[in-house]
Amino acid sequence: MFEHPVLAGFYRRFGPAPFLPHGAPREEPFKVLAESIVAQQLSGKAAAAISARLWSRVEPHPEALLQVSPATLRQTGLSHAKAQALRDLAARSLEGLLDGLDSLEDEAVKERLLQVRGIGPWTVDMFLMFGLRRPDVWPVGDLGLRRAAKALFDVEALGLPAFGEPFRPYRSHLAWYLWRTLD
């Protein structure tokens, strides 16, 4: 599948990464973004537990989330800031923020999503990768990616942009494989 020997080796070890061809089904953008907000600065396990509690109390739709009080959101384990960010995401979603994202270029998606309280570059990168399943996102701000690149290739954070260049247009795949090495 991959011509690059590093990607080919990772593919043999871990199987296919979850980035589907254009037009393949994707998860609901609101839910993916909400879970990305929940996951900020948390381990995957902690984020999954909080997301499970959140979705057990409210349907993963903007209308439903706005009907729940901030105090109820906090009871799921969310910080005040994350509860406010989810409410802002829900309100903006109802205003059309998420409409047509899959037809936009990456930079246009970033510009639109960075308007939401609590969404920064890391969250946008995660959404591009796991919400829109874009194959060429290189989230150099991700701590796990930095740790894996340092451990496997002795690449420091400042060198990550250049390190990723030879892997275009499959940098999302590379990131996903590097994360798998941390499991």
Q: Which residues are catalytic?
A: 142
Residue 71: half-sphere exposure toward Cβ, Cα within 13 Å: 0
Q: CA 139 to CA 156: how far, in whole Å?
A: 14
Its sign, for the CA torsion 130, 164, 179, 83, is negative
Q: How big, in percent rounded to 5, are the helix, strand and coil portions of the chain?
A: 65, 0, 35
Of 179, 56, 78, the closest CA to residue 125 belongs to 179
